[in-house]
Each structure stands twice: as structure tokens, then as C-alpha cells.
Amino acid sequence: MQVFADNQFGAFSGHSTNWNMRAATDSLSLKPYVGMRANAGDCIEWNTATPEDADYKAFRNVLTGDGLPYLDVPGNHDLTTYNNAAKFPYTRTTADGIFERMARTADEWARDVPARGSANAVASTSDIAVMGVSSDLWAYRPNIASPNYAPPDPLTEATLTWMDQQLTALGSKPTWLMSHQLPLGQFASNPGGVDEYLRPWSRIAEVLDAHPNVLGWISGHWHIDPARADGVAKINVGSRSITAINAPSSQGLRSGWNAKQLQYGDGTLGPEYAKSMFIGYDGTDITLRWRNHNNGTWVQPQGGKYRRITL
């Protein structure tokens, strides 16, 4: 499975639309090695002055041109806008009385961008499945300097019931959960300074614990370098654990930007490459690889071209 995250099409993106299209074209050349593709959110950098949704649709159309299954989920930048003249004038006031910027719900995004209708969806092949889940809203609070994002809405009871039903229907098929938000335990410390973990985790874990076919959880959002050891973690779901994988930013890492999050273990900044992640599973081990779409080569974090995780 090939995983993109944090493409962030738009005026504030680290890469141009042309780069994203090159990434899509390079990905098509890898079809013999890929069974399906996924995107862990922040597909666009939503600003109504620029056509991010249209650009992402074009990218998605190229990427799905070879007929492989593709599943995407919305992230904070997909659901909140920098421009108060948003086309989705969804507003609300937080418990502390702070009026949030314009935003759209996850299902509004799903209807407008992927032409899917619902943000929660499943894609599968004959031997593996990915279930995308999303909070209804991830809101931006303009008059707080840091952090800027309010805690995302918890997953609704309806979403949790849907997850349980879908996992039951998938039976014994190995299944990944995927969201832009982080599953609890993905990192030792809260990366964003606000509660950006999925909630209510006790109920989420209760659902997952009942389904041994759940292999792991894929998330985005943090723009980390693949060389970070904590990008992969074992997280508890009731009586057992699953593998959590934080996908690297497909937008690329930029020196001087959010430097604390982009450091290697030795404190040096990671390289400025743009990439996607490839996740393999042979029934025993999970193998990770990363593709540099700037030059069509395999990235070599941690001194090698892959990272193996023994379950």
C-alpha cells in the first residue's frame, strides 16, 4: 500500500501543483509493487482565493488512473480555511467563548472533494483493507497565537458503530485504520500542544479490541522525517496492541520550518525531500519504504532503504 499525507495543495504549500502531478506520475510507474493507495489527510491548504479542491481532484484523477483502489481522509487544513469568505460558512462558538474561523464538516469535504459522500469509508483489495475515519470537525481559533487548532471533535457513537460493523464485515482480512489525527500512544508527548489525539480513545480501543483483524493505525499531521524512530509505535487497544505508523509529509520537509518536529534523533534537520510511504505486510512482518518523488528514487532513512517491524 502506498500512503500519501499532507500534500497541502495551495498558496501556502511547500511544493507546487506541478510537483504533486510529478509525484502522481511517478507513483503510476510503481503499479507492479502496489495494491492500493491512501492519503492520510491535509490534501489541500484550504484558502478560497486559490482552487485547492480542483487541483487536488486533478491529482487524484491522475493517481487513480491505473484503477487501483484509493482512499483519502480529511485533515485540519482540509476542514478549516485561512479566508473568512469561505464557501462553507459553518461557524460555532467554543466553550471558552472564542469564535472560530469558517470551517466545513468532514462529510461536506467528502462530498466536495473526493465525490464520495461520506468521510468515513473503506477501500480494499483481495487481501487487505483500509478504513478511513474522521472527526466531524477540526476547528481553527484565530485569536490564539499557539496552538491555533481547537481539539477536534470526538468520533461520534454513530462512527464507532459503523467501524464495528465494517470490521465485522471484513472478517479475517488484515485491516488498517487511517485518520489524519493521531491515535493515542503514537508519540510519547503531545506533538501539537493541544488534544489532537483521537477521542474517545477508550471507546475506540473497545471497538478495535473485538476485531483481531485490525493490523494497525496510519496517521498524518506531524510532517516528520522517516528517520524518526518514534514514527512507529505499538499502541494499546484493550487487551492487545497494534502498530501505529505516522506517515511522512508528502509535501516535503523544509529547513527552518517547524524545526522541532523535523529533527533526527541526533538533533540535525532532515533532508528536504518529498515523499510517500510504502507499507508491506507478509503475514508476519510489516516493511516500510519511502519514495522520493522529486527524483524517482527510494529514500534511505536509518541507513537503509527499508525498515522492518516484527509483530
Residue 283, Cβ density class (10 Å: 0-12 exposed, 13-18 middle, ≥19 buried): exposed
pLDDT score, position 178: 98
| Amino acid symbol at 311 | L
Return the higher-pLDDT residue of 25 and 270. Answer: 25
Return the higher-pLDDT residue of 214 and 24. Answer: 214
Which cell numbers hold the place of 62? Answer: 491522475
- The 10s digit of each residue's pLDDT in 249-298 is 776 554 444 443 333 333 333 444 567 889 999 888 888 888 878 778 88
Going from the C-alpha of 153 to that of each of 106, 136, 188, the distances in angstroms are: 11, 6, 22
Omega cis (within 30) before 32: no
- The 10s digit of each residue's pLDDT in 70-90 is 999 999 888 887 654 444 344
Candidates 116, 247, 102; CA nearest to 177 is 247
Residue 49 — pLDDT band, cuts 50, 70, 90? low
Helix (H) or strand (E) holding 39, with range, is strand 37-39
Instruction: Give ∠ CA 55-146-94 in degrees, rounded to 5.
Output: 85
Going from the C-alpha of 304 to that of each of 170, 253, 254, 290, 294, the distances in angstroms are: 34, 19, 22, 10, 19
Neighbours of 94 (CB within 10 A): 13
pLDDT score, position 274: 60
Q: Cα dihedral angle (43, 48, 49, 52), rounded to 10 degrees?
A: 20
**Mean pLDDT within 94-100:** 47
pLDDT score, position 83: 52
The share of the chain scoring above pLDDT 70, in percent, equals 70
DSSP 31: G
pTM for this one? 0.86
pLDDT score, position 258: 43
In the chain the first and final C-alpha atoms are separated, in Å, by 18
Going from the C-alpha of 47 to that of each of 63, 226, 294, the distances in angstroms are: 23, 29, 25
d(Cα 124, Cα 131) in Å, to the nearest integer? Answer: 9
